[in-house]
């Protein structure tokens, strides 16, 4: 069942505008994770307010919501062993200045307000975020032909 762990990854409007979608997807594919859901969406503020509900009392909350609503995002669900933890390592630190080269934010970002990507921080939040952004029928269940070479 651990192989079936899922995480929610979203390429933010700045990542889309900067044409980094393909490079980011490629990193998850090359790592060996399985894409089970993806949509290109102009997220409504109502969805973003639910997504970031835990930050609603922070002073940056209104700016965060308007930034995330400023353009389309690529919402994805990736599956694999320890995908939540490994995905976070691949993203780098929330503040790109603290991110190591080789991570997504370490390679592509400068400032925390433009950190191009979101990744679930726990299995629990991943499940919550996946259910917020995707209907069950929008997620695919299949066996990847590379599975036996990865596990």
- Tell me the catalytic residues: 118
* 85 assigned to a ligand binding site: no
* 26 assigned to a ligand binding site: no
* 103 assigned to a ligand binding site: no
Q: CA separation (Å) from 52 to 26, 94, 96, 106, 136?
A: 27, 15, 20, 23, 21
Question: Where is 39: in which H helix or E strand?
Answer: strand 34-41
| Contact by Cβ (8 Å): 93, 99 | yes
* 34 assigned to a ligand binding site: no
Length of the chain: 151
* 88 assigned to a ligand binding site: yes
Question: Where is 11: in which H helix or E strand?
Answer: strand 6-11
Q: CA separation (Å) from 122 to 10, 17, 18, 128, 145?
A: 15, 28, 28, 10, 28
Q: Report d(CA 76, CA 5) in Å as an integer.
A: 14
* 105 assigned to a ligand binding site: yes
**Residues at the annotated binding site?**
12, 60, 88, 94, 105, 115
In the annotated binding site for ATP, the residues are 12, 60, 88, 94, 105, 115
């Amino acid at each position: 069942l651990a192989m079936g762990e899922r995480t929610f990854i979203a390429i933010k409007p700045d990542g889309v505008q900067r044409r980094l979608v393909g490079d980011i997807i490629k990193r998850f594919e090359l790592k060996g994770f399985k894409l089970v859901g993806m949509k290109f969406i102009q997220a409504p503020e109502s969805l973003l307010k639910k997504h970031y509900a835990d930050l609603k009392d922070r002073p940056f909350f209104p700016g965060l919501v308007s930034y995330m609503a400023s353009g389309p995002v690529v919402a994805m669900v990736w599956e694999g062993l320890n995908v939540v933890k490994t995905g976070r390592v691949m993203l780098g630190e929330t503040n790109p200045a603290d991110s190591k080269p080789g991570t997504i934010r370490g390679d592509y970002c400068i400032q925390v307000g433009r950190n191009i990507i979101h990744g679930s921080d726990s299995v629990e939040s991943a499940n919550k975020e996946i259910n917020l952004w995707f209907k069950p029928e929008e997620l695919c269940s299949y066996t990847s032909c590379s599975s036996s070479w990865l596990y």
